[in-house]
Structure formats: C-alpha cells, structure tokens
C-alpha cells in the first residue's frame, strides 16, 4: 500500500512538472488550453454574457428619436470613472493569460528551416492555442465597460501578438475600428475598415466587419449607404431582440431617406415580431407617421383607436403628439394645438416624449407671437429634457427669455386689472371679487376630491401589491450604475429617486408641487416652533369683571392679518386695489417699468421689431413724461437703422434731438456717419482702448488724451467709455493737475454711476476733496514716490508714521527690483535673474519671491548675510556680463535690510529709503547713489517733456483750428459753432467742414443730409488734386531754397576773391613819402559797409580781407583785429555745428531709409509666407479632395464587386 501511494505521488509530481509553462510541448499546449478554457475563461465568459444581457434588457430606449445600434453607444466617449459591470470578465481573462501563457520556443527539429510549418511555429509569440479567446474577452470587457481607448490599445496589442494568425488579426482590427467609432474618431474608423477591405480578411470575420461598417455609416449620417449595410447585418443577427431593434432603426433610416413605403413595411415587421410592447407601440406610431398625406383620415382613425386602448394609457402623450403632427401636416394649427395640449395633459411618465410635445406646442405659440402661452411650454419641457438632447440649448434660451418677459407682462396685466376694478362702482367691484372667491373655492374643492381619490387608490394598490413588492425587494437585485457609483448623494441615483417617487405616490397620491401641500387651508400659517424660543410662556389672556376673556390687540391684529391673506375673503383683494392717488401713481410706475422692459426684451432677445415699437408707442401714449423716453427714442432709432425703416429712424431721431438736445444720444445721432461708426464700434473700441492703456503705462499722456478726445467724439456711446474716461483722468495725476483730475472724476461719477470703475473713481474723488496730495510725474517717476502700506484713502496710521529706518549693515539684506506692471514682462525678468544666479553662484543660493504694490510689481532676491554681500552682488549685476544693463530701464534696483524692508512696507516710499541710504551708506556705495540720482533726474526731465508735449500739441491744435475757415451755417438764423479752446477734439487733422454739430438750441431739421455717392467721389477727387498741388508746391519751394543757397555761396566766393586781390595790393611796398600815399581802396571802417553775408553759408574769411593793414600798428587797429578774430572763430564754430547737424540729418535719413527697406523686406517676407501658407492650404485641400475622390472610387468599386458577386451567386443559384 505504501508503495502504491509513492507511485501516485510521483505520477502527480511528473504531471505538474510536465504541465509547467516553462516547457513547450504538444502535451503542455493541450493541457493549458483545456484548463484555461474550462476553468478561468468559462467563469469570465459566463459573467460577460450575463452582464451583456442585463445591459440589453435594462436599457430604456427613446423611440421618438433615431435609436442606436447598440446600448453601449450611450456611454461617454471618455471613461469617467474606474471599474464597471464587466470587471469580473476582465479579471478572469487576465488571470487565464497570466497562468496559462506559453511563450517559450519549442524544441527545433533537424532541418526545421526547410519546413514552412516549422518556421511559422518558431515565429509565433504565443503557443497556447486557446489564449487568443482570453485576450479577446479582456478587450471586449474593456469595450463594454466604456473604456474605449484602453480597449483599442488591447486590440492593437492582440494584432501584433498574433501576427501569424490572420483571423485573430482581422478580429482585432475590427474591434479597434469599433472603439474608434464609439470615441467619435470616424476618420480613423473609416481608414481602418478600408485598410481591412483592401488587404482582405478571412470570411469568418465578415459578419463582424459588416456590423461595424453599418454602425460607422449610421454614425456618419450616410443614410443611403447605411440602409443596404444595415439590411445585411439584420439578416445575419442571431439575437432576436437586437435584430428587432435594428429593424426599427432601418425603418427610421428609410423614413429619413423619404422611402415611406419601405419604412411602413419595416415598422410592420417590427410590430409583428412580438417585441416588448413599448417597441411595438412605437412601431405602430411610426407606421401612422409614414402613411401618405392623402390617407390622413385613416391615420387619425387609427391613432384615436390607440388613444382609447387601456394598453396605451402610459403612452398617450406620444399618441396625441402624433395626432398633432398629422394636423400640422395639413396646416391646421388650431386642431394641432388642441392635440398637443391634450398630450401634455394626459402624460403620466413625464419623460422626453412629454418634453417634445411641449416643445411643439410652444413653437406654435411662439410663431404666433403668443409669448405668454409659449412660456410654460418651454419651461416645462426644459425640466423634463436631458442636457444631451439636441434641442436643449435652444429650449433653455427661449425658456430663460420668456420667463423674464412673462414677469413684466403679468405685472402690467395685473395692474391694469386692478386699476379697472378701482374705476368700477363699489357694487360691481364686490360682485367681481365674489365671483373670483367662488372660483377659488370650487378649485380647492375639486383638488381636494382628486387628492382623496388618488390617495385611496394608491392605498388600495399598496395593500394589494405589498407581498409582490416584498418579493421584488428580496429576489430582484439592484442594477448597478454604469459608472460604478452605487453610493453617494441620494438624488444622484436615478433608481432610488424613482423608488422614492413611487413610495410617495403610494402614500399621498399625486400632489401639486407647492408649499404647504399637506394642509387643506394654506392661508392659515402654522404656529412657528421658534415663537417661544426665548423660553417665555405665552401671555395669559386678560379677564373682565365677570371673568370673561378680553380680546387682546395682538390677537385682533393676527386675525385681521389672517383674513387679509386668505384668498377667500374680500379684504384679500380689496387691499390690492389702488384706490388712492398715491396707489395709482405707484401702479403706473410698475406699468411703465413693465412696458419698457417688455419692449427691450422684444427688441434685443426676441428680435420682434414691430412688437417692440408697438410697446414703446403704448408707453409713450399712456405716460408721455416717463423716465425712459430718451432710452426708447434711441432704441427705436437703432431699430430703424437696423431694419431700414426710414420713417421710424427719422421720427425717433427728431424726437430725441428735440426733447434731449444736450444728451450723448443726440450728439451721436447728429453725426451723419453714425451708422458706420456704430457698426464698427464693437470691432475697434477694444483695440483703441488697449493701445491707449499701454501708452498710459509708458507715461505717454499726450497720446492718451488725444485718443480719448477722438474716441469720445466718434464713439460717445461705447461700452468702454467709462474706462477710457478713467484712464484719461489718471493722466492728470502724472502731470500733477489736481483741478483737471477732480473735474474728470466728477464727470465720470455723475455720467456713469453704475459703471465698474465708478466705485474706484468715487473713492479717489473723496481723497482729492479731502485735500490729499497727488504724486506728480510720469508713471516711471511715480515708483520713487510710491508709498506702501496706505489705507483706502492713501493715509497711514500714526504708528506707521513713527517708524524709521535703522542702520544695521551686518543684518540680513535683500535686493529689491521695482518695476511698473505693464511696462516690464515679469516672467522674463524672473527668468533673467534666476538664470544669472544659477550660472554665477554654485554654493550660495538665493531665494526669489514676488510682491505687488498698486500698479507696480516687485521681484525680491533674498539670502544676503549683510550689506557688503548685497553691494558686491549689485556691482556684479552691473558688470559687463550682468543682467542689470540688459533689463528694461523702468526697473530700479536698491538693496535693503530685512528690518528696513518691513519699515518700507508701513507707510514709506523708495524715495524715502534711498535718501536714508545715501546719507548713511553713500560712501560705501557711491555708484549706487549716483545711479539713483541720475535716474530720478531723468524721470523728472521725462515728466517735464511730456507736459511740454501736451501743451505744444494743444497749441498746435488751437492754431490749426483757428486757421480753418468756419463752415457756412445751414440755417442763417442759428448761432455759429464755437470751437473750444481748452480741449480741442482734433489734434492731428481737422475734420471736413461738411458735417455740422447740432448745438443745444439747434433743431433736428438743421442736420445736413448724408452725401450722395457722386458727391463723395467728387470730394475725394478734389482732395487728391489738392494734395497733389500741395506736394508740387513743396517741391518747388525746396528747389527755390536750394537755388538761393547756391547763389549765396557763389556770391560769397566772388566777394572773397575780390578781397584777396585787395589784400595783395595792400601788401605791396609803400612809398617812402607818406604825403604821396594814394587813397586806400577800402577804408578802415569798411567792415560796416561790406554787404551782408548769410552766416549759415559764409566760407572762411581772412581778417585782412576786411581790414587793411595800416602803415603803423595802432591801438584801434589791434582792437578791430581782435573783433575780427572773434568773429572768425564764431563763424568757424557755426560752420562746424552746421556740418555736424547736416551729418546727423543725413545719418537720420539713411537710418530712415534702412528702416523703410527693412520694413519692405519684412512685408515681402510676410507676403511670401502668406503665399506659401495659401499654397500649402491649397495643396492640402487638393489632397483631401483627391483622397475623398479616391474613397468614392473605392466605394464604387466595392459596390460593383458586391453587385458582381451577388449576380454571380444568383446566376449560380438559377443554374442549380
């Protein structure tokens, strides 16, 4: 016996060793294939089939819209969370692969290289013949879990891993194409399928290929191509439920293609295939929809019979929606409205079908301009519609607009009704109120009876089905959510919400969604649980002399309040009726507000111009002096411009100019080019403001003010006008003009009280009015005077003002880089500092941090042990290889200790600290102090230049404005326009004088009409001719000056020659006898009698040419000679200066020419680049077009081959 057990154990050991994956023999391959198939794979495949069946059976289809080929298409394109119902199948597949994979090469037999079969065996990567099914199980599990990207990767690996098995490779490529289609990568799907079709694949994969190809065509909306492909898939589908679904989808595609007869037959086959009743009902409805219009009565009869069947009580919304569609096809909107309304009323499922029915009803009302009735339709549809529905965005927008509109419509209607009641005699008024009270009581009674009936029926149903519900709770498992989220918030789980609704209806029946739904008398308030929260007992009622309780004042008031809030009492309605003059005035205000808001909604959000104009006219008629007159005059003018309604445009403009001549609106509409400006405003205002703001950051105040004046003149109603005004006001801060700054802020606050910058402007205005001093200078200079740590009014506390800088050279220090935010790129500066520190300090490390102070930023380099280290660092960064000279000049550098930095942040400025630094450490860092003083001086000079530029630009504008001839007034009786001299509205050029600005007293009739096309063309030609003449005149003037210069030069040369000759004569020996001396040709004081010579063109003159040497050297001669030497020196210096100026001018002209050439080259390069881009785009489109053509040809060839095969098959069948 012992020997027997030994043999058995030895045999088991040999079996285990023989079945190891380390060996690759025929026995091990068969053993591992058998074990993998009937152990791990079997469990995984069983779980996979169960979950797939659950997915098919539990999926709720929307048969009103085009259905999907498979429910997996409802999953998100990207995996939202980990896990899913197919995790067990994936786990079992991976386990089988891990335990039974054989990748060791088999033993090579002699001469194996000459045997093709042996060669193929050696080239394989996997030798377990069944493991390919495990790999496919893993990929399919990932696919049905919604992890399409991971599944595509697995399919790609399978195709490479089993490259020697064509059937597996084809199946993997088909699965990968299906993953691409579910992710929406339709181009990749088509490319993969075409490659398969081109290279060929085994016949065993044809069915899977056809299914994926048909799904791809359906998703691509290629209806005509999808129909034959889907028919082929239906013929080969073995799952009866899936085959019925796809046949229904085929009917929908045929309907879209207009082949109604074929669609009718397909829907009939669906209904007769004994599907679930919901699908059968949908097929019957679709049959009714595809019947020809001539048989509409037959369709209505069939649909009305379906509406009377008890089987369809849960689908009545779809039945009546189909009835309404039939009436709409015959343009019978009245019957269609009744049918749709009945469908909404009888709907019990509150799903998408109800939403679609409400949308169709709302569209009819909306088309009829009945917005009040359309509003509840769109609002109700929005609550029952999923966000993924194709019409969700449109319905949401309309619902939001109509909700806003109905509030104002109901307010106007209510106030009109109340005022009508107020005008009635008291007896008639009370009769109307009593009638309303009777209707309220009748409605409450009817609702109470319906609620009691529903509660009774629900209670009976709950008792009768109690045992069945218990069995369902025990036996039926809860279906897990597709995203794997079984817990979490209650309302995120649709199943628990549905169960809660059912339980509520079982107990309470159907209830209206309103407050106090359980109370019969909703007017009486419940006793609040917080009435006696303070612990006080209720007051004891007071008794009279006989012991009877006395009615307190509080209880009387409470009873009165209860009566006044009860809709079944007269007081409830009488207190709302405006009976006094004050109440009527308040009611009129509500009506005026409502009418204006209605008109604006009609204009802007519904784009219904006639209704908007009608509403504005009603507001004008009922309330002539309302506060919205100017606004709706202008809005009516804009509507006239937009819709080319000339009478409306003229009437609105005349009203606006006559009633509000000084408003911005009147100024705007008086511009003959206003229509062009208003169309261009949205395009250009952002760029103009951004450019001006950037120039403000750089301190260019003159440019900002010019831009603001031009912008305010051209676009006075722009949305950016408040911000532009604020920036223009800030330019006066830079120049220190307190009065102009205060005036600009006051204008901004008064004109735009609700703008986003008004709050900041008002705070600044308060500070100016309190006498706060402004920081003068440009933005560059403001950083020295920037004061840290101030409050909202720019003030510092007494404690901070008492702080002072301390002398601590051995304490830790830091280097501060202060810069304006808009003028310096902070990231580039940070990178430059970090790169320098990293390259030059290997041991020492510095910390970089950033901070902000108003419009300035700070980069702080910390980590210095004392002042000496930070000064050495300062010298290094200003060296040749340092970064200080390379960064923007707007950046300032200053070292500071940690303690002094804290002091700086509490009410001090960089200027205060640098003054302290220069006094204490000036000898240690003379270069730093010198650079600081030089930069401060440069900033001050720059600020002065900016102010001078502003004043000079203003003077030039004044001069040009004065030189322009005043335009002839249109009406001689009107006063002439006076051009303002303080702030002219034009700087570079003066606008043509053909446009006349309307003054305060000028009527609208004086506005000059827009010029015709011929007049504008003639005017442009005249301007061009004028410019041409001016150019020619300038050229002639330059030539004349050139000739004058040459003439002067020639005259000076001739004078010099004559005087040189005189000098030669004077140098000859004089006669001994002085009495015989001849009269000199040039007198001694001839310098006063020589002709005037231009100093700018006079050549070098010898002093002896104008001063004859006398016989004896006298004092007077020496004096005159000295004067001539000084004159000669001055002329030489002037000539040298002129030569340098000419050289500078010539160099500047050469520089300009080089810049022009570079700009021309740059433009040429840009042009060439654009041409290349256009050429590339053209080539790409041509390639795309050729590719599409090639795909079409392939598709045609494939169809032809299929037709030939089909013809051959039929021919073969006939021959048999």
**Burial class for 1081, CB neighbours closer than 10 Å (0-12, 13-18, 19+):** exposed
Tell me the torsion sign for CA atoms 1095, 1101, 1105, 1108: positive
pLDDT of residue 837: 84
pLDDT computed for residue 984 by the predictor: 35
pLDDT at 703: 87
How many angstroms separate the CA atoms of 865 and 877, rounded?
A: 18
How many other CB atoms are found less than 10 A from the CB of residue 561? 11
Q: Which residues contact 1009 (CB under 8 A, 6 or more apart)?
A: 672
pLDDT given at position 92: 92
Tell me if 741 sits within 8 A of 774, measured CB to CB: yes
Residue 1079 tokens, joined: 């009269």
DSSP state of 40: I
State pLDDT tens for residues 355-391: 889 999 999 999 988 998 999 999 888 888 878 788 8
* Cα 440 to Cα 516: distance, rounded to the nearest angstrom: 17
224-233, 692-701, 753-762, 964-973 — most confident range: 224-233
111: left (phi over 0), alpha (psi -120 to 50) or beta: left
Specify whether the CB–CB gap between 781 and 898 falls below 8 A.
no
User: What Å distances lie between residue 805 and 143, 852, 869, CA to CA?
Assistant: 71, 21, 20
Residue 672: count of CB within 10 angstroms of its CB = 15
Residue-wise pLDDT for 811-863, tens only, equals: 999 999 988 876 788 888 888 888 888 778 766 778 888 888 766 788 999 98
656 compared with 459, residue with greater pLDDT: 656
Sheet containing 892-897: which strands, arranged edge to edge?
847-853, 856-864, 813-820, 892-897
Nearest to 43 by CA among 82, 84, 94, 83: 94
pLDDT at position 881 is: 83
Q: Coil, strand, or helix at residue 1102?
A: coil
1017: confidence class by pLDDT, cuts 50, 70, 90: low
Query: Higher confidence at residue 903 or residue 1169?
Result: 903
Is the pLDDT reported for residue 558 higher than 90?
Answer: no
Residue 1094 CB neighbours (<10 A): 12
Residue 486: its H or E element: none
Q: Which residues of 206-244 are buried (b: 16+ CB within 10 A; e: fewer)?
A: ebbbbbbbbbbbbbeeebebbbebbebbbeebeeeebbb
pLDDT attached to residue 456? 72
Quote the tokens at residue 613.
């104009």
User: Is the Cβ–Cβ distance between 272 and 285 less than 8 Å?
Assistant: no
Highest mean pLDDT among 617-626, 1003-1012, 1014-1023, 1051-1060: 617-626
Measured torsion, CA atoms of residues 1089, 1092, 1096, 1099, in degrees rounded to the nearest 10? -50
Are 223 and 256 in contact by the 8 Å Cβ rule? The answer is: yes
| The predicted structure's pLDDT at residue 1055 | 46
Distance (Å, whole) CA 72 – CA 468: 32
Q: What is the pTM of this model?
A: 0.52
Q: Kindly indicate the confidence band of residue 499, based on its pLDDT and cuts at 50, 70 and 90.
A: low
Contact partners, residue 448, CB within 8 Å, separation at least 6? 520
Residues in CB range of 726: below 8 A, 6 or more apart: 748, 757, 760, 761
The pLDDT value given to residue 86: 93
1013 pLDDT more than 70: no
Q: pLDDT tens-digit profile of 408-432?
A: 999 999 999 999 988 999 888 889 8
User: Percentage of residues in the chain with pLDDT exceeding 70?
Assistant: 71
- What token pair was written down for 1106? 């104008």
Instruction: Give burial (CB, 10 Å; 0-12/13-18/19+) of 741.
Output: buried
Given pLDDT bands bounded at 50, 70 and 90, which one contains residue 742? confident
Taking the mean position of all CA atoms in its chain, how far away is CA 663?
A: 33
Structural element, H or E, at residue 968: none
Helix (H/G/I), strand (E/B), else coil: 862:
strand
Backbone φ and ψ of 848, nearest 5°: -110, 130
Specify whether the CB–CB gap between 1108 and 1084 falls below 8 A: yes
For 516-557, how does the pLDDT look when each residue is reduced to its tens digit (9 = 90+)?
A: 555 544 444 433 333 444 444 444 444 444 444 444 444 445
* Domains of the chain: residue spans and CATH: 1-45+66-105+121-179 (no CATH), 680-774 (1.25.40.10), 787-948 (no CATH)
Dist CA 745 CA 738 (whole Å): 11
Angstrom distance (rounded) from CA 233 to CA 100? 36
**Residue 184: how many CB atoms within 10 A of its CB?**
13
CB 618 within 8 A of CB 602: no
Cα(93)–Cα(518) distance, integer angstroms: 56
The CA distances from residue 44 to 83, 133, 178, in Å, are 16, 11, 22
Give the pLDDT of residue 772.
56
Question: Positive or negative, the Cα torsion across 120, 125, 128, 134?
Answer: negative
| 420 close to 582: Cβ distance less than 8 angstroms | no
Residue bearing the bigger pLDDT, 293 or 138: 138
Please give the Cα distance from 151 to 71 (Å, whole number). Answer: 17
Rounded CA separation 1106/1113 (Å):
16
Burial class (CB in 10 A: 0-12, 13-18, 19+), 396: middle
Angle between helices 87-100 and 131-144 (to 10 degrees): 160
For residue 51, pLDDT beyond 50: yes
pLDDT band at 759 (very low <50, low <70, confident <90, very high): confident
Dist. CA 694–CA 493, nearest whole Å:
54
Which of residues 976 and 299 earns the better pLDDT score? Answer: 299
Partnered with residue 814 across adjacent β-strands are 862, 896
Of 324-328, 588-592, 1016-1020, give the range with the top mean pLDDT. Answer: 588-592
Q: By mean pLDDT, which of 647-661, 960-974, 1135-1149 is the weakest?
A: 960-974
How far is the CA of 1211 from the CAs of 920, 1203, 1205, 1216, in angstroms?
A: 112, 12, 10, 9
Q: Do the Cβ atoms of 314 and 349 come closer than 8 Å?
A: yes
The single residue listed with the structure tokens 């004109």 is 751
Cα–Cα distance measured from residue 546 to residue 1134, given in angstroms and rounded to the nearest whole number = 126
Mean pLDDT of the chain: 75
State the chain's maximal CA–CA distance in angstroms.
177
Rounded to whole angstroms, the Cα distance separating 582 from 640 reads 37
Phi, psi (degrees; rounded to nearest 5) at 893: -115, 135
Please, which pLDDT band fits residue 686 given cuts at 50, 70 and 90?
confident
Structure tokens at 504: 């509520």
The pLDDT value given to residue 760: 79
At residue 278, the pLDDT reads: 86
Q: Provide the sign of the torsion angle of the four alpha carbons 910, 914, 916, 921, taken in this order.
A: positive
Separation of alpha carbons 288 and 306, rounded Å: 11
pLDDT at 64: 82
What's the token pair of residue 723?
A: 């911000």
**DSSP state, residue 894:** E
* Residue 974: half-sphere exposure toward Cβ, Cα within 13 Å: 20
Report how far residue 834's alpha carbon sits from residue 840's, in angstroms, rounded to the nearest whole number.
10
Distance in angstroms (rounded) separating the CA atoms of residues 293 and 288: 10
Q: Is the pLDDT of residue 508 over 70?
A: no
Could you give the 3-state DSSP secondary structure of residue 531?
coil
Instruction: Read off the DSSP letter of residue 475.
Output: H
| Helix/strand number for the chain, H first, E second | 44, 4
How is 196-227 classified by DSSP, letter by letter? HHHH---GGGHHHHHHHHHHHHHHTT-HHHHH
Tokens 């009492």 belong to 569
pLDDT at residue 781 above 70?
Answer: no
User: Alpha-carbon distance 648 to 610, whole Å?
Assistant: 11
| pLDDT tens column, 143-177 | 999 999 999 999 999 999 898 899 999 999 999 99
Query: Taking the CA atoms of the chain, what radius of gyration do you get in angstroms?
Result: 48
């Amino acid at each position: 016996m012992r020997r027997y057990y030994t043999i058995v154990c030895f045999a088991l050991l040999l079996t285990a060793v023989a079945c190891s994956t380390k060996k690759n023999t025929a026995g091990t391959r068969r053993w591992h294939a058998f074990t993998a198939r009937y152990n791990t794979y079997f469990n995984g495949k069983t779980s996979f089939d169960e979950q797939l069946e659950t997915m098919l059976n539990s999926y709720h289809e929307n048969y009103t819209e085009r259905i999907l080929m498979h429910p997996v298409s409802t999953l998100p394109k990207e995996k939202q969370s980990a896990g899913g119902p197919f995790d067990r199948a994936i786990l079992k597949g991976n386990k089988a692969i891990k335990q039974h994979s054989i990748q060791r090469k088999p033993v090579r037999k002699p001469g194996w290289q000459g045997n093709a079969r042996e060669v193929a065996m050696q080239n394989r990567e996997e030798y377990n013949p069944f493991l390919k099914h495990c790999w496919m199980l893993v990929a399919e599990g990932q696919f049905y879990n919604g992890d399409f990207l991971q599944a595509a990767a697995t399919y790609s690996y399978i195709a490479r891993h089993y490259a020697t098995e064509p059937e597996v490779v084809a199946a993997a490529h088909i699965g990968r194409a299906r993953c691409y289609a579910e992710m929406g990568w339709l181009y990749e799907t088509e490319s993969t399928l075409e490659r398969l079709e081109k290279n060929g694949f085994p016949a065993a994969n044809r069915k899977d290929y056809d299914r994926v190809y048909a799904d791809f065509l359906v998703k691509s909306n290629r209806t005509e191509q999808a129909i034959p492909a889907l028919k082929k898939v239906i013929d080969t589908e073995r799952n009866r439920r899936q085959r019925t679904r796809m046949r229904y989808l085929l009917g929908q595609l045929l309907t879209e293609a207009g082949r109604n007869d074929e669609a009718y037959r397909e829907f009939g086959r669906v209904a007769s295939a004994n599907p679930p009743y919901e699908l059968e009902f949908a097929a019957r409805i679709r049959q009714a929809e595809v019947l020809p219009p001539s048989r509409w009565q037959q369709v209505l009869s069939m649909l009305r019979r379906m509406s009377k069947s008890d089987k369809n009580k849960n689908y009545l919304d779809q039945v009546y929606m189909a009835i309404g569609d039939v009436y709409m096809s015959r343009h019978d909107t009245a019957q269609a409205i009744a049918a749709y309304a009945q469908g909404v009323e009888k709907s019990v499922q509150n799903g998408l079908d109800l939403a679609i029915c409400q949308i169709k009803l709302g569209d009819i009302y909306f088309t009829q301009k009945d917005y009040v009735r359309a509003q509840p339709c769109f609002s109700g549809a929005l609550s029952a519609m999923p966000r993924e529905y194709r019409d969700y965005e449109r319905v949401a927008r309309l619902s939001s607009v109509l909700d806003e509109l109905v509030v104002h419509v109901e307010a106007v209607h209510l106030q009109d009704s109340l005022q009508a009641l107020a005008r009635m005699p008291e007896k008639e008024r009370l009769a109307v109120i009593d009638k309303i009270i009777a209707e309220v009581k009748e409605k409450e009674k009817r609702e109470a009876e319906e609620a009691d009936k529903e509660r009774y029926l629900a209670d009976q149903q709950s008792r009768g089905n109690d045992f069945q519900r218990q069995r369902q709770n025990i036996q039926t498992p809860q279906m897990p959510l597709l995203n794997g989220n079984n817990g979490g918030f209650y309302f995120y789980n649709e199943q628990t919400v549905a169960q809660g609704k059912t339980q509520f209806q079982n107990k309470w029946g159907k209830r209206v969604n309103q407050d106090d739904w359980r109370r019969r008398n909703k007017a009486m308030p419940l006793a609040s649980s917080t009435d006696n929260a303070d612990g006080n007992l209720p007051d004891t009622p007071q008794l009279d002399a006989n012991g009877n309780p006395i009615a307190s004042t509080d209880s009387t008031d409470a009873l009165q309040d209860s009566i006044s809030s009860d809709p079944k009492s007269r007081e409830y309605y009488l207190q709302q009726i405006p009976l006094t003059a004050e109440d009527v005035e308040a009611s009129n205000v509500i009506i005026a507000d409502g009418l204006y808001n209605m008109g604006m909604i009609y204009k802007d959000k519904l784009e219904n111009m006639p209704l908007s104009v009608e509403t504005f006219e009603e507001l004008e008629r009922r309330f002539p002096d309302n506060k919205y007159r100017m606004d709706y005059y202008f809005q009516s003018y804009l509507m006239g411009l937009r819709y080319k309604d000339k009478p409306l445009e003229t009437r609105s403009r005349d009203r606006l100019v006559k009633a509000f001549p000084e408003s911005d609106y009147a100024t705007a509409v008086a511009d003959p080019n206003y229509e062009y400006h208003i169309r261009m405003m949205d395009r250009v205002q952002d760029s103009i403001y951004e450019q001006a703001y950037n120039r403000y950051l750089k301190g260019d105040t003159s440019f900002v003010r010019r831009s603001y004046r031009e912008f305010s003149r051209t676009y006075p109603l722009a949305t950016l006008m408040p911000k532009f005004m604020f920036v223009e006001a800030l330019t006066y801060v830079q120049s220190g003009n307190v009065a102009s700054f205060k005036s600009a802020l006051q204008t901004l606050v008064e004109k735009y009280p609700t703008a986003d910058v008004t709050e900041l402007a008002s705070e600044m205005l308060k500070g100016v009015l309190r006498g706060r001093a402004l920081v003068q200078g440009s933005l560059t200079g403001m950083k020295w005077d920037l004061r840290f740590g101030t409050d909202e009014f720019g003030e510092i506390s007494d404690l901070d003002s008492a702080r002072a800088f301390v002398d601590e050279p051995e304490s830790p220090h830091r280097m501060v880089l202060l810069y304006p935010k808009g003028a310096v790129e902070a990231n580039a500066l940070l990178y430059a500092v970090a790169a320098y520190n990293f390259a030059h300090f290997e041991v020492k490390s510095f910390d970089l941090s950033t901070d902000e102070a108003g419009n300035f930023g700070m980069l702080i380099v910390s980590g210095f042990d004392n002042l000496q280290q930070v000064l050495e660092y300062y010298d290094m960064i200003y060296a040749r290889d340092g970064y200080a000279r390379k960064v923007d000049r707007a950046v300032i550098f200053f070292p500071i200790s940690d303690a002094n930095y804290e002091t700086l942040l509490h009410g001090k400025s960089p200027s205060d600290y640098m003054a302290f630094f220069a006094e204490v450490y000036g000898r240690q860092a003379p270069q730093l102090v010198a650079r600081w003083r030089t930069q401060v001086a440069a900033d001050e000079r720059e600020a002065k230049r900016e102010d001078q530029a502003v004043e000079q630009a203003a003077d030039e504008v004044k001069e040009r404005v004065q030189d322009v001839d005043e335009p002839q007034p249109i009406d001689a009786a009107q006063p002439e326009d006076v051009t303002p001299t303080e702030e002219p509205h034009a700087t570079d050029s003066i606008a043509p004088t053909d446009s006349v600005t309307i003054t305060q007293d000028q009527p609208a009739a004086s506005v000059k009409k827009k010029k015709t096309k011929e007049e504008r063309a003639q005017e442009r030609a005249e301007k061009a001719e004028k410019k041409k003449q001016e150019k020619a005149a300038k050229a002639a003037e330059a030539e004349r000056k050139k000739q004058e210069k040459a003439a002067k030069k020639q005259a000076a040369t001739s004078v010099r020659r004559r005087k040189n000759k005189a000098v030669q004569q004077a140098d000859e020996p004089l006669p001994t006898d002085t009495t015989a001396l001849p009269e000199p040709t040039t007198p001694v004081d001839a310098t006063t009698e020589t002709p005037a010579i231009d100093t700018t063109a006079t050549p070098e003159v010898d002093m002896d040419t104008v001063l004859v040497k006398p016989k004896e050297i006298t004092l007077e001669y020496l004096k005159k000679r000295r004067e001539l030497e000084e004159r000669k020196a001055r002329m030489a210096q002037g000539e040298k200066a002129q030569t340098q100026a000419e050289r500078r001018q010539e160099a500047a002209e050469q520089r300009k020419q080089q810049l022009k050439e570079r700009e021309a080259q740059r433009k040429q390069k840009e042009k060439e680049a654009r041409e290349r881009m256009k050429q590339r785009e053209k080539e790409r489109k041509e390639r795309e077009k050729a590719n599409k053509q090639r795909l079409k040809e392939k598709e045609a060839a494939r169809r032809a081959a299929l037709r030939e095969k089909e013809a051959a098959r039929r021919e073969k069948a006939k021959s048999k």
